[in-house]
Structure 1
Amino acid sequence: MQFQFIFTIFSAVIALSTLVAASPNASSEGSSTNHLAKRKTYTGTATWYKPATEGGPHAACNGAYIDDYSRIVALNAEQYGNMNGKSKYCHKKIRIKGPKGSATATILDACPGCSYGDLDLTPVLFKKIVGDMNKGIGKIHWNFV
């Protein structure tokens, strides 16, 4: 009788520990959500600008210094958010793919005239991703890394 009681308690403890181990916790849900956000691909148009002469050498994100050779992008106004403040996307790395190739860049600026999904690239990035600067625009796909 006592053996049966101990066996029943032992079985209950095993069953409960299995349920606890299988339940999701907050940290695993958060990392799963971040992982899914990183996999989302945005589609848009790439344009180019020269920060030194068009918009100024200080980025919208904390006034960081940028130039025509910086591997940075200006994010479209809709995704950037408040154009008078720092976006939640400032300093985030993205991977951009276009007809000529792909590159990794950092969001440091804002593009008031760009539509959702669009990016304004520095010349060094535009040449690598789209190609000929005389085209002026190119279709792109990008995601957070």
Structure 2
Amino acid sequence: MKFNAIILTALIALTGYAAAAEDAPRGHERKAQFLEKRTSSKRSGGGKMTWYGGGMLDAPACGGKPPGKYDNVVAVAQNSGYGSCNQKVRLHYKGRTEEATIRDYCADCGFGHFDATQGLFQKFADLDVGVLSNVEYELL
């Protein structure tokens, strides 16, 4: 009798586990959910900012007229999930906020890295600083 109770308890536990596993997203579904969160149109977070200029502004990957060094333009990592061509982004650093347009891709940028025009970078710090950490951003 005791043996039957143990078997019955084990079967109930396995049935509950199977039902929970059935409802849980599978590997490809979890990846899709992750990518959906990363590519949502209302993405925000923290990252870093560097600057670029000169000839690198001449042929933006997003097309259109090349930006000037004082335009509020940034480059991001291609297919990174934190912004795409011509999307607006609000950047905030140490009490200062600016909006910029994503117009180019940055080969050396990781997730949350914005490569800004010189003029945009200078609205936050001197060019000599080179890298700003803890830059908050919101995709608009």
TM exceeding 0.5: yes
Partner of 1:46: 49
- 2:89 touches 2:137 (CA, 8 Å); kept in 1? yes
SS of the residue aligned with 1:124? helix
Query: What does residue range 4-83 of structure 1 map to in structure 2 within 5 Å?
Result: 37-50=40-53, 53-79=54-80
TM-score calculated relative to the size of structure 2: 0.63
- 2:57 touches 2:66 (CA, 8 Å); kept in 1? no
- Counterpart residue identity of residue 41, structure 1: S
TM-score calculated relative to the size of structure 1: 0.61
How many pairs were matched up? Answer: 101
Output the CA distance in 1 between the equivalents of 2:91 and 2:81. 17
Structure showing the higher strand proportion among its residues: 2
User: Which segments of structure 1 move beyond 2 Å, counting only runs of 4 or more?
Assistant: 37-40
State the 1:100 CA deviation. Answer: 5.6
State the 1:78 CA deviation. Answer: 4.7
Structure 2 portions without partners, runs of 5+:
1-35
Partner of 1:112: 107
SS of the residue aligned with 1:79? coil
RMSD value, Cα:
2.4
- 1:42 touches 1:141 (CA, 8 Å); kept in 2? yes
- Counterpart residue identity of residue 49, structure 2: A
State the 1:39 CA deviation. Answer: 4.1
Percent identity, please: 27
SS of the residue aligned with 1:134? helix
